[in-house]
Amino acid sequence: MRSLLELFRSRSSDARTSGETATVRKIVAALDAMEGERAQFIAAFAYLLSRVANADLDISAEETRTMEQVVESFGDLPEEQAILIVEIAKSQNRLFGGTEDFQVAQEFKRLATRAKRVELLHCLFAVSAADNEISSTEEVQIRQIADELGFSHREYVEVRSSYSDKRTVMRRFKGE
């Protein structure tokens, strides 16, 4: 299994012929400057965020901004680096989404403490709620990631309950 960091690096060599060289080289250099496991951790984290943002096959500007803020804060990174990481994660998700999803979740699970996995779950909901609503498609994706990370249904529901007012499914029941 190739690590997400290797995928980011291979993307940079592919990009040399596609005009994205400067941007991609910057992100790879930034990731290369990090300690290996930390870079893998942040790359997997950003990819999982983009997986939820792209659940409806459209990553909105609000979702992108939220992902950038979350990656910056969660990774303790400079804004420019967080922006680049998010852009690469979005691109990787669009290119490899579906085939790499489970592997990336397993990599994150291996690298993250239980507390960091719970924090990720909250971040997934925050990204999906960036446009002030969590669609059922996004919920399904978050639930799948939660399963892949080893959360029980009860643990998932506990975190999800913090976002009930944003869930479109709940709004329909309330007649909104």
What's the rounded Cα separation, in Å, for the pair 109 and 121?
Answer: 12
- CA atoms of 39 and 46, how far apart (whole Å): 11
Rounded Cα gap, residues 58 and 132, in angstroms: 15
Indicate yes or no: pTM above 0.85.
Answer: no
> Domain tally for the chain?
1
Q: What is the pLDDT of residues 61-82, one digit of tens each?
A: 999 999 999 999 999 999 988 9
Q: Which CATH number is 119's domain given?
A: 1.10.3680.10
Range of the domain at 44: 4-174
What gap in Å lies between CA 150 and CA 33, rounded to an integer?
31
Interval 169-176 mean pLDDT: 56
| Pair 5, 30: CB distance under 8 Å | no
pLDDT tens per residue across span 91-135:
888 888 788 899 999 999 999 999 999 999 999 999 999 999 999
What is the rounded distance in angstroms from the CA atom of residue 99 to the CA atom of residue 95? 9
For the cut 70, the answer to whether the pLDDT of residue 171 exceeds it is: no
52-61 per-position pLDDT tens digit: 999 999 999 9
